[in-house]
Amino acid sequence: MRTTIYMKDDLFRQLKQKAAAKGQTMTSLIEEAIRLSLIMPVRQKSHPRKVHLTTFSGDGLQPGVDLDDSAGLLDLMEEADGTLRR
């Protein structure tokens, strides 16, 4: 059967590249994707699992620690000799 589909340009380019890389036609790749989507069970929305975080007693963060500053955190964790403190 012949049909026309419309897709965004970037998706078309990705499809074309993937088909070429796999040595398939775009039609066969689209058919494969549709078959897979039809046989895969529809996932029901699951309830989020409760996460239990391990905490330790203490006085909170050390002075000068900013959890939003990853570079600063790495600097604080490095020893004087350049090895990472754990």
Quick one: which of 37, 14, 18, 38 has its CA closest to 29?
Answer: 18
Residue 83 clears pLDDT 60, i.e. is over it: yes
Q: Which residue has the higher pLDDT, 44 or 58?
A: 58
pTM of the model as a whole: 0.46
Q: How far apart are the first and last CA of the chain?
A: 62
Q: What is the pLDDT of residues 13-50, one digit of tens each?
A: 999 999 999 999 999 999 999 998 888 777 767 778 88
CA 62, 64, 70, 76 torsion-angle sign: negative
Q: Where are the domains of the chain?
A: 9-39
What is the rounded average pLDDT of the residues 77-81? 67
CA-to-CA separations, 49 to 8, 21, 32, 46, in angstroms, rounded: 36, 39, 33, 8
Q: For position 64, what pLDDT does the model report? A: 76
Residue 72, Cα to own-chain centre: how many angstroms? Answer: 25
